[in-house]
Amino acid sequence: REELGGPKNEAPDETGMRVNKKYSCLPAEEKGIHIINIRAIEDIGYDQHESTLLNSLSKNPDADCKYGLYFRDGKRKVDYILVYHYKKSSSGRALARRTHHNDTSARSTKQDHPLPGKSVQLEMGESEPPADSHEDDKRFRREEYEGNLVEAGLELEHDEDTKIHGVGFVKIHAPWNVLCREAEFLKLKMPTKKMYQINQTHGLLKKINSVIQKITEPIQPKVAEHKPQTVKRLSYPFSREKQHLFDLSDRDSFFDSKTRSTIVSTVWKGEGRKKETTLLNKRRKCGKYGITSLLANGVYSAAYPLHDGDYEGENVEPNDRKLLCEEWASYGVFYKYQPIDLVRKYFGEKIGLYFAWLGVYTQMLIPASIVGIIVFLYGCATVDENIPSMEMCDQRNNITMCPLCDRTCSYWKMSSACATARASHLFDNPATVFFSVFMALWAATFMEHWKRKQMRLNYRWDLTGFEEEEDHPRAEYEAKVLEKSLRKEHKHKEKHRYFPEEAANKWRQRVKTVMAGVKLTDKEKLTWKDRFPAYLTNFVGIIFMVGLTFAIVFGVIIYRISTAAALAISSTPSGRSSVRVTVTATAVIINLVVIIILDEVYGCIARWLTQIEVPKTDKNFEERLIFKAFLLKFVNAYTPIFYVAFFKGRFVGRPGDYVYIFHSFRMEECAPGGCLMELCIQLSIIMLGKQLIQNNLFEIGIPKMKKFIRYMKLKRRRSLDHEEHVKKKQRYEVDYNLEPFAGLTPEYMEMIIQFGFVTLFVASFPLAPLFALLNNIIEIRLDAKKFVTELRRPVAVRAKDIGIWYNILRGIGKLAVIINAFVISFTSDFIPRLVYLYMYSENGTMHGFVNHTLSSFNVSDFQAGTAPNDPMDLGYEVQICRYKDYREPPWSENKYDISKDFWAVLAARLAFVIVFQNLVMFMSDFVDWIIPDIPKDISQQIHKEKVLMVEVFMREEQGKLQMLETWKDKDKKKGENCNNHSPRLSGSHSGSLSSCHSYPVDV
């Protein structure tokens, strides 16, 4: 009737909404509707014929609603979507469809609902066929919940006649009064009518900025929000009493789609309010259900805001999503800046801050990459001039080295390790120390630069006065508290009388109700005694996971030792030189595969450990989850690297007195050129492999596979009806097929681990910043494409910083200084070379350094059964072999004891660690102190805004005073006129006088 232009047959209900008279959800007895008659009409088939006739005569309803972006009236915008699965019954299918297709679907909260699983007696004595009690319970919960949403002022519209069979959608619209009310509760800063000029630079700085703008114009995105602004609107927290201050000329665009979805989600979560009158608290007091528990229990299968429209196609209307896809989520614009303001406008501040941080981090990697390349090129240019590597490669030295394993391994010449020694110089040279100091200062500068950038964004996004509201307790926490209080009550009753079965059932029902989101009093709370089992489980679980990581690394060590021994037996003399590289590369690949698998396992375990702790608020839950996941993944990713850097070759022993594992395998030794080359191989393969596999497989391959599987399932369910195939999908149907948003924790975690690779062991791999830069250029566009095209639109969340991630970054930066000091001091040969150059060199050069670092061993001192099986493998009899260590020679009185050279080198190493660490820490703190957290121009603009706001309110108060004075003058003049008037009748004098003072005054 509505589509044909007939009477709508609607009337306002108690909430001020339009409710269809015929299909209201009030009981049938009150409205005079005979359900049996409607069903009889449906059984005859007349109702179906009527609907077919109406559909043939009316226009396409999807044209007005823009395929799901608006309600069917084409005026009310869809702000949020709730999705649920349903099973249609043969008797009530048409009635349910009519009821659900109602424009507002208002359900009175005073209505008496049937109990789940019970049948409803109809007027003619017929009974409805028995339905599934579980599905009936879900429907009952949905009706209760949606009734509360309607009571809060939201408007709903149902749609079950969709292309996705068995799936129903609830479209939610927030009217203007609800938007204003919630915006005031949330203290959202909205632009006022007052505009002011932003302070501009003058003189030389202005010319420099103009030149920079012209140079960078090709790499700026073609987005209006990204253009530099000279004028800004004054923002103020929204107030319904001061609506005249705001620019309400276009109410439809005053609250954008991001803000509207935030407000709707806030209404049913009860966030942003401190009073006990929120919808959620009302619902909990009445024993009803919360959205979180409804999603967890399967009452609703999804809840999400809609995307603005399609992003590809010829006839697609312009929208923010399409603009983001063209100027941000495309690999063809990888060289351009990100339109951060548009990202924030579409996805909210929290996601906008993540991409802003990722952009700043990527930009800061450019100078680090340039310096790293220079350090690497310096190593390449000086490799032929490096005296130690030249001595190792000189065939005339004829240095015979001791066997690398017992019995099966034979003696070998140092010149066979020439390639490893030359390669080590590329990463182990004097420039490495400079690069380590540079990267420590780079990390401090990056943190300061981000803080300043964050303040600029807070100013532009009107978050300068934003304070996070107190989180409401989680449903799980409240359930535990109620369970604790009921347990106390149960024990108290047991002391006095027997606790009957009926009371036990009542107790279980109360616990079940609380799990659905019942509000509790603050009398009870969980103490450390209540959480002690969970804390103990967390401690044991984390220790077990760390031990598992150590066990896997130990297993890889056994693999390296046994494989090296096996290859030494089977390889030819020419192939034995490549045994070390082969074993190292294969072991690193095994480590990489294990790290990637354990990353996923540790993520799930960290979530489970956090859940059993039962944190009170969502913020506490997120912070604890992040800390546990980071701890486990940090240990998982860096344990193999720590082993190579600080433990490999440290506890080997010496020939004739080696340290054994399981009485058969010797501990690994470092190469003659040091372990730095192996550390470089380990770091590069794990870093690059982890990024490539995670980016290509987990972030691209797996989501596409899930999407394809979901598409195939829907294709199987789809009807063969031609009309269903031709019908275009609604916006909410298309978005439902997208992957749900899982949070920013995986995105941050990936970048934080990469930040550790770049800073912690950068002394061994100067090219790490370069590979991180190349990865991030792809990562930004990959994440952008995922957010725009692959994921459902997340709920916009306000945030003024990146939270706990900033503290983790600072901790990694401080730890990087210590680790790099130890890498340079103990892993590389930088300190031994300095000690030799200034203490032992005869001519002030590095000639003789290799011989100085090698000790001698008499082969006659081998333990029984450990000498090589083929002592003549080199073609001559060996009496003295060499090994890398500082020990007394066999002809000394204290043979094989640690020599004084070892203690001199150790003292120099420890002194270097102390000096390097304190010097770099001081320089980092100096950089932190000298760079202010808040840019000067931003602080001036914030002060200017405060002054302007005071002026606005002063003018408003002056206007009110002038208006009151004007009314007083009018009142005084009116009184004088009445006093000067001579009444004709004395009886009418008082009446006329009173009438002079009774004029209406509107304030």
CB 173 within 8 A of CB 157: yes
Mean pLDDT of the 257-279 span: 60
- Give me the pLDDT at residue 981, please: 55
For the stretch 727-740, pLDDT in tens is: 577 888 888 888 88
The structural domains of the chain, with segments of one domain joined by +, span 70-85+133-187+253-273+287-306, 189-237, 337-462+526-716+732-797+805-830, 935-970
Length of the chain: 1003
- Give me the pLDDT at residue 630, please: 92
pLDDT above 60: residue 131: no
More confident residue, 811 or 496: 811
**Tokens linked to 469:** 């509201």
For the stretch 952-995, pLDDT in tens is: 888 888 887 888 888 887 877 777 766 655 444 444 444 443 44
- Give me the pLDDT at residue 573, please: 56
For the stretch 568-623, pLDDT in tens is: 666 565 555 567 777 878 888 888 888 888 888 998 999 999 988 888 888 888 88
Quote the CA–CA distance of 834 and 868 in Å, as a whole number. 36
Quote the CA–CA distance of 577 and 551 in Å, as a whole number. 29
pLDDT band at 25 (very low <50, low <70, confident <90, very high): very low
Mean pLDDT of the 3-12 span: 41
Quote the CA–CA distance of 840 and 852 in Å, as a whole number. 9
DSSP 475-493: HHHHHHHHHHHHHHHHHHH
**Tokens linked to 400:** 């015979």
Check residue 524 and report its DSSP letter: -
CB 349 within 8 A of CB 799: yes
Closest CA to 658 of 383, 285, 404: 404
Closest CA to 814 of 441, 451, 454: 441
pLDDT above 90: residue 366: yes
* Range in 305-309, 364-368, 483-487 with the lowest mean pLDDT: 483-487
Tokens 């020694």, residue?
421
- Give me the pLDDT at residue 915, please: 92
- Give me the pLDDT at residue 127, please: 42
* Torsion angle in degrees (nearest 10) through CA of 707, 711, 712, 718: 160
Closest CA to 103 of 136, 70, 81, 79: 70
Bridge partners, 412 (sequence order) = 401
* Percentage of the chain lying above the pLDDT 70 cut: 75
| Position 724, amino acid | E
For the stretch 55-98, pLDDT in tens is: 334 445 565 566 778 888 888 888 889 998 887 654 444 344 43
**Tokens linked to 171:** 């479209």
For the stretch 771-796, pLDDT in tens is: 999 999 988 998 999 899 888 999 88
Phi and psi at residue 311, to the nearest 5°: -115, -5
Q: What is the pTM of this model?
A: 0.80
How far CA 628 is from CA of 749, 838, 933, 970, in Å, comes to 12, 48, 29, 73
pLDDT band at 863 (very low <50, low <70, confident <90, very high): confident
- Give me the pLDDT at residue 544, please: 93
Quote the CA–CA distance of 607 and 613 in Å, as a whole number. 10
DSSP strand E in 295-350: where?
302-304
| Position 218, amino acid | P
Quote the CA–CA distance of 713 and 729 in Å, as a whole number. 16
- Give me the pLDDT at residue 352, please: 93
pLDDT above 70: residue 1001: no
pLDDT above 60: residue 839: yes
Tokens 């619902």, residue?
283
Whether the CA torsion 404, 408, 414, 418 is positive or negative: it is: negative
pLDDT band at 943 (very low <50, low <70, confident <90, very high): confident
Check residue 878 and report its DSSP letter: -
First to last CA, the chain: 45
Quote the CA–CA distance of 93 and 459 in Å, as a whole number. 54
pLDDT above 70: residue 119: no
- Give me the pLDDT at residue 61, please: 55
Quote the CA–CA distance of 584 and 660 in Å, as a whole number. 20
Mean pLDDT of the 912-936 span: 87
CB 854 within 8 A of CB 654: no
457: Cα separation from own chain's centroid: 19
Quote the CA–CA distance of 993 and 658 in Å, as a whole number. 119
Quote the CA–CA distance of 19 and 34 in Å, as a whole number. 19
Q: Which residues contact 343 (CB under 8 A, 6 or more apart)?
A: 324, 328, 351, 352, 355
Quote the CA–CA distance of 374 and 376 in Å, as a whole number. 5
**Tokens linked to 55:** 């559909």
pLDDT above 80: residue 707: no
Quote the CA–CA distance of 552 and 564 in Å, as a whole number. 18
Neighbours of 847 (CB within 10 A): 15
For the stretch 470-514, pLDDT in tens is: 666 777 777 777 777 777 777 766 655 544 565 556 556 655 555
pLDDT band at 296 (very low <50, low <70, confident <90, very high): confident
- Give me the pLDDT at residue 359, please: 93
CB burial of 701-727 (b: ≥16 within 10 Å; e: otherwise) equals eeeeeeeeeeeeebeeeeeeeeeeeee
Neighbours of 574 (CB within 10 A): 8
Quote the CA–CA distance of 679 and 640 in Å, as a whole number. 9
pLDDT band at 910 (very low <50, low <70, confident <90, very high): very high
Average pLDDT of the chain, as a whole number: 76
Helix 618-642 vs helix 579-613: crossing angle, to nearest 10: 160
What is the fold of 70-85+133-187+253-273+287-306? Alpha-Beta Plaits (3.30.70)
More confident residue, 542 or 959: 542
Closest CA to 884 of 573, 575, 566, 648: 648
pLDDT band at 222 (very low <50, low <70, confident <90, very high): confident
pLDDT band at 121 (very low <50, low <70, confident <90, very high): very low
Neighbours of 23 (CB within 10 A): 18
Q: What angle do CA 449, 454, 456 make, to 5 degrees?
A: 100
Q: State which of 288-292, 368-372, 637-641 shows the largest mean pLDDT.
A: 368-372
Mean pLDDT of the 187-194 span: 85
CB 1001 within 8 A of CB 967: yes
Quote the CA–CA distance of 183 and 246 in Å, as a whole number. 13
* Range in 86-90, 204-208, 444-448 with the lowest mean pLDDT: 86-90
Quote the CA–CA distance of 740 and 875 in Å, as a whole number. 69
* Range in 235-244, 709-718, 765-774, 794-803 with the lowest mean pLDDT: 709-718
Quote the CA–CA distance of 778 and 751 in Å, as a whole number. 13
- Give me the pLDDT at residue 521, please: 43
- Give me the pLDDT at residue 468, please: 67
Helix 418-427 vs helix 349-381: crossing angle, to nearest 10: 130
User: Which pairs with CB-CB distance under 8 Å and at least 24 residues apart come from 507-515?
Assistant: 510/482, 510/486, 511/479, 511/482, 511/483, 511/486, 513/287, 514/475, 514/478, 514/479, 514/482, 514/483, 515/293, 515/475, 515/476, 515/479
pLDDT above 80: residue 347: yes
How crowded is the C-beta side of 416, counted as CA atoms within 13 Å?
18
More confident residue, 28 or 867: 867
**Tokens linked to 664:** 């058969």
Tokens 């604790």, residue?
484
- Give me the pLDDT at residue 506, please: 59
**Tokens linked to 432:** 């490495």
- Give me the pLDDT at residue 104, please: 41
- Give me the pLDDT at residue 36, please: 31
Quote the CA–CA distance of 301 and 362 in Å, as a whole number. 38
pLDDT band at 996 (very low <50, low <70, confident <90, very high): very low
Bridge partners, 189 (sequence order) = 237
